């Protein structure tokens, strides 16, 4: 790490890892470190960062594991000689929707930490009324989601109010389920944090407010009125469903105020971190946000640009001036800039579903490891939509080893169809596993293309640039198929920045501390200092004439085939081979 000047930390508490990244005022990344939950903290017994209870459709993570990960990452930073005294601001990104339930003693414990001990020793279990946090892959809340949609007159109206229709993973339905299933632990809860505000609370030494963007992943906050939605808070607060003003008031208190300014200095870092690790006592704690909102802060994003995040989940993100809500996708408040919104689609069967196909292809060829070579060869050496020639049928597949968010499919399954692109006739089909490599990436990209169309200029309906981030962004075969389907008239780029969520968080901390006034916008400050050399690599031409149009021809057939899967008109295969 270079010798002098302030640095800003961004942390990313995501599904499988805790990552940290430090930047200097000129946006140069000077330090990165990560802790993997499965590999570095095996005593918790999680797989890919979570516990799965198939019987009840629950997916959750132990809060203690995240705290131990923070102890460990700080220790690793120290061992590598990181100079904590230069850190002037910290912000974070958290996997979205997860909730943390603090005990009545939490504030006292948080504000009296002894630097002689670890965070884990002091906080867990004392500071929590529930030792787990529901994960975004959880799908145990069907009845609660139905109640949320019904409460405001349907998923259209819920989306209009909160930016999203009812979703299993959203925090409001999760809180309602907690109220119903764990009434004692709920009444022993002093405050409820999101994963992002939980992370900020650890550094702040008191419960941090929920931020203005991540709050939109709860189905509880009304984006139009910019306040908690009283109808939905009342609903989430009572197990019985009949309104109870006392219970509603209690939930308001547990949730606290939402911080409207993404760049607010919430206060100095807790003295624990000053004494134990040598942070300066004036290091500012800035609101943490969701991992997806944080990702759009990793570069100055233009209106027609899209970010595709190829992480555990696969998401497509765009920044937009239009508040154009629909139950088909999510709209969030922008994490830093009032008047802007973030558009998002999130696929649960993203990276993990691609991995299943990769492993099946490898197994069929007698390859024992988890290498991507055969998958990549199969994805790029096959023809567009698996069509042997102009007159043959297109292969369209849907691969949902887990219940899917987009589209809303409750039963896991694998579905393969052949579609006549001229007549849009569809029939169930079977093919060799190698054809699935191209089909899964095409299918995910077609879903993104069709659903993001309303956000694009109708006269120019493809993104300007597509930026790839996340673990899968280093894979050129994925980039090629995404480029073919989505286009991108300036091309497909890889953000060569380590972890984009952590980087976005570090930039947010930098902007918050160094902005000349509260009116200096994030885009202006970062835009002025941003130099894309070394940070952005063009990996593929985007638009290929003729190819992009071919994918346009399948849009109707694709949507019809997907409709059959959603309605349950066809039975999916339970295994890939």
Q: What is the nearest approach in angstroms of ligand ADP to the Cβ of residue 272?
A: 27
For the segment 304-323, give every residue that binds ligand ADP (CB under 6 A). 311-312
DSSP state of 46: -
| 171 is a site residue for ligand ADP (CB under 6 A) | no
372, 398, 417, 548: which one contacts ligand ADP (CB under 6 A)? 372
Closer CB to ligand 5SP, residue 382 or residue 499? Answer: 499
Choosing among ligand ADP, ligand 5SP, none, which partner's interface includes residue 355 (Cβ < 5 to 8 Å by kind)? ligand ADP
Backbone angle region of 153, left / alpha / beta, with phi > 0 → left and psi within -120 to 50 → alpha: left
Q: What is the nearest approach in angstroms of ligand ADP to the Cβ of residue 438?
A: 14
Q: What is the nearest approach in angstroms of ligand ADP to the Cβ of residue 332?
A: 18
Choosing among ligand ADP, ligand 5SP, none, which partner's interface includes residue 315 (Cβ < 5 to 8 Å by kind)? ligand 5SP
Q: 482 with 468: CB under 8 angstroms?
A: yes
| 293 is a site residue for ligand ADP (CB under 6 A) | no
Closer CB to ligand ADP, residue 136 or residue 417? Answer: 136
Q: How far is residue 542's CA from residue 96's CA, in Å, rounded to a whole number?
A: 30
Beta strand 536-540 with 491-495 is antiparallel
> 457-470 burial, b for 16+ CB within 10 Å, e for fewer?
eeeebbbbbbbbbb
Choosing among ligand ADP, ligand 5SP, none, which partner's interface includes residue 413 (Cβ < 5 to 8 Å by kind)? none
The backbone torsions φ and ψ at residue 76, rounded to the nearest 5 degrees and listed phi first, read -65, -40
Structure tokens at 424: 């849009």
89, 463, 472, 488: which one contacts ligand ADP (CB under 6 A)? 472
Q: Dump the DSSP string for 507-518.
A: HHHHHHHH-SST
Closer CB to ligand ADP, residue 18 or residue 123? Answer: 18
Q: What is the nearest approach in angstroms of ligand ADP to the Cβ of residue 57?
A: 21
Q: 311 with 471: CB under 8 angstroms?
A: yes
Q: What is the nearest approach in angstroms of ligand 5SP to the Cβ of residue 388?
A: 36
Q: 438 with 481: CB under 8 angstroms?
A: yes
Q: How far is residue 363's CA from residue 373's CA, in Å, rounded to a whole number?
A: 13
Sole window of 149-157, 322-330, 397-405, 468-476 interacting with ligand ADP (rule: CB under 6 A): 468-476
| 475 is a site residue for ligand ADP (CB under 6 A) | yes
Q: How far is residue 224's CA from residue 226's CA, in Å, rounded to a whole number?
A: 6
Q: Which residue number has the CB closest to ligand ADP? A: 471
Structure tokens at 158: 């819920």
Choosing among ligand ADP, ligand 5SP, none, which partner's interface includes residue 359 (Cβ < 5 to 8 Å by kind)? none
Residues at the site binding ligand 5SP, with contacts judged by CB under 6 A: 14-15, 95-97, 136, 169, 217, 290-292, 311-313, 315, 346
355, 496, 520, 553: which one contacts ligand ADP (CB under 6 A)? 355
| 163 is a site residue for ligand ADP (CB under 6 A) | no
Residue of 460, 456, 465 lying closest to 305 (CA atoms): 465
Q: How far is residue 14's CA from residue 199's CA, in Å, rounded to a whole number?
A: 11
Q: How far is residue 70's CA from residue 291's CA, in Å, rounded to a whole number?
A: 17
Closer CB to ligand 5SP, residue 14 or residue 103? Answer: 14
Q: How far is residue 204's CA from residue 399's CA, in Å, rounded to a whole number?
A: 42
Half-sphere exposure of residue 531: CA atoms within 13 angstroms, side-chain side: 8
Choosing among ligand ADP, ligand 5SP, none, which partner's interface includes residue 289 (Cβ < 5 to 8 Å by kind)? none
Sole window of 10-18, 324-332, 333-341, 460-468 interacting with ligand ADP (rule: CB under 6 A): 10-18
Q: What is the nearest approach in angstroms of ligand ADP to the Cβ of residue 33?
A: 14
How many Cβ atoms are within 10 Å of 471's Cβ, its own excluded? 15
Sole window of 244-252, 381-389, 431-439, 473-481 interacting with ligand ADP (rule: CB under 6 A): 473-481
| 362 is a site residue for ligand ADP (CB under 6 A) | no
Q: How far is residue 67's CA from residue 75's CA, in Å, rounded to a whole number?
A: 13
Sole window of 75-83, 135-143, 240-248, 465-473 interacting with ligand ADP (rule: CB under 6 A): 465-473
SS3 percent helix, strand, coil of the chain, rounded to 5, is: 40, 20, 40
Closer CB to ligand 5SP, residue 103 or residue 312? Answer: 312
Q: Which residue has the tokens 């409001």?
A: 172
Q: How far is residue 534's CA from residue 459's CA, in Å, rounded to a whole number?
A: 33
Q: How far is residue 278's CA from residue 257's CA, in Å, rounded to a whole number?
A: 31
State the binding string over 75-114 for ligand ADP (x if CB under 6 A, else -). Answer: ----------------------------------------
Closer CB to ligand ADP, residue 355 or residue 514? Answer: 355
Helix (H, G, I), strand (E, B) or coil at 183: helix
Choosing among ligand 5SP, ligand ADP, none, which partner's interface includes residue 171 (Cβ < 5 to 8 Å by kind)? none
Closer CB to ligand 5SP, residue 89 or residue 311? Answer: 311
Q: What is the nearest approach in angstroms of ligand ADP to the Cβ of residue 416?
A: 22
The backbone torsions φ and ψ at residue 263, rounded to the nearest 5 degrees and listed phi first, read -105, 15
Q: Which residue has the tokens 């920044």?
A: 319
Q: What is the nearest approach in angstroms of ligand 5SP to the Cβ of residue 136?
A: 3
Structure tokens at 268: 């100095």
> Using CB under 6 A as the criterion, which residues of the chain lie in contact with ligand ADP when the complex forms?
14-17, 311-312, 351-352, 354-355, 372, 470-472, 474-475, 478
């Amino acid at each position: 790490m270079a010798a002098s000047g302030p640095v800003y930390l961004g942390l990313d508490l995501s599904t499988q890892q805790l990552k940290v990244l430090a930047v200097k005022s000129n946006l140069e990344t000077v330090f990165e470190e990560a802790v993997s939950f499965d590999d570095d903290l095996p005593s918790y017994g999680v797989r890919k960062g979570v516990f799965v209870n198939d019987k009840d459709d629950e997916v959750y993570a132990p809060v203690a594991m995240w705290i131990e990960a923070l102890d460990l990452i700080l220790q690793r930073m120290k061992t590598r000689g990181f100079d904590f005294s230069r850190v002037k601001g910290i912000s974070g990104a958290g996997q979205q929707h997860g909730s943390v339930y603090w005990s009545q003693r939490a504030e006292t414990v948080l504000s009296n930490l002894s630097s002689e001990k670890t965070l884990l020793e002091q906080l867990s279990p004392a500071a929590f009324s529930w030792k787990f946090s529901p994960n975004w892959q959880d799908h145990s809340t069907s009845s609660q989601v139905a109640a949320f949609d019904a409460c405001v007159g349907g998923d259209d109206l819920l989306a209009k109010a909160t930016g999203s229709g009812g979703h299993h993973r959203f925090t409001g339905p999760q809180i309602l389920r907690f109220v119903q299933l764990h009434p004692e632990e709920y009444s022993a809860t002093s405050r409820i944090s999101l994963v992002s505000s939980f992370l900020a609370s650890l550094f702040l030494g008191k419960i941090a407010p929920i931020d203005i963007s991540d709050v939109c992943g709860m189905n509880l906050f009304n984006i139009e009125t910019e306040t908690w939605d009283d109808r939905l808070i009342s609903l989430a607060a009572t197990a019985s469903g009949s309104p109870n003003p006392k219970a509603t008031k209690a939930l308001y208190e547990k949730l606290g105020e939402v911080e409207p300014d993404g760049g607010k200095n919430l206060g100095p870092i807790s003295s624990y971190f000053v004494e134990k690790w040598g942070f300066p006592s004036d290091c500012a704690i800035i609101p943490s946000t969701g991992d997806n909102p944080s990702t759009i802060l990793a570069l100055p994003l233009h209106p027609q640009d899209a970010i595709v995040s190829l992480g555990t989940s696969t998401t497509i993100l765009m920044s937009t001036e239009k508040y154009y809500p629909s139950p088909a996708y999510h709209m969030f408040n922008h994490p830093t800039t009032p008047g802007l919104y973030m558009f998002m689609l999130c696929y649960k069967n993203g990276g993990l579903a691609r991995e299943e196909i990769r492993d099946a292809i490898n197994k069929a060829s007698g390859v024992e490891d988890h290498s991507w070579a055969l998958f990549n060869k199969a994805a790029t050496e096959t023809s567009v939509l698996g069509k042997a020639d102009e007159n043959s049928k297109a292969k369209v597949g849907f691969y949902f080893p887990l219940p899917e968010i987009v589209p809303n499919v409750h039963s896991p399954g694998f579905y393969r169809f052949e579609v006549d692109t001229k007549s849009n006739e569809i029939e169930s089909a079977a093919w060799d596993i190698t054809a699935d490599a191209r089909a899964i990436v095409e299918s995910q990209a077609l879903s993104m293309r069709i659903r993001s169309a309303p956000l694009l200029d109708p006269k120019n309906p493809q993104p300007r640039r597509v930026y790839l981030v996340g673990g899968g962004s280093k894979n050129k075969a994925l980039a090629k198929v995404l480029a073919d389907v989505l286009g991108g008239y300036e091309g497909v780029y890889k953000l060569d920045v380590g972890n984009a969520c952590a980087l976005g968080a570090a930039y947010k901390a930098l902007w918050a501390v160094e902005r000349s006034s509260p009116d200096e916008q994030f885009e202006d400050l970062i835009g002025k200092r941003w130099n894309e050399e070394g940070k952005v690599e063009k990996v593929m031409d985007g638009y290929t004439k003729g190819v992009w149009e071919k994918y346009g021809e399948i849009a109707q057939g694709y949507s019809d085939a997907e409709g059959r899967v959603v309605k349950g008109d066809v039975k999916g295969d339970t295994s890939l081979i």
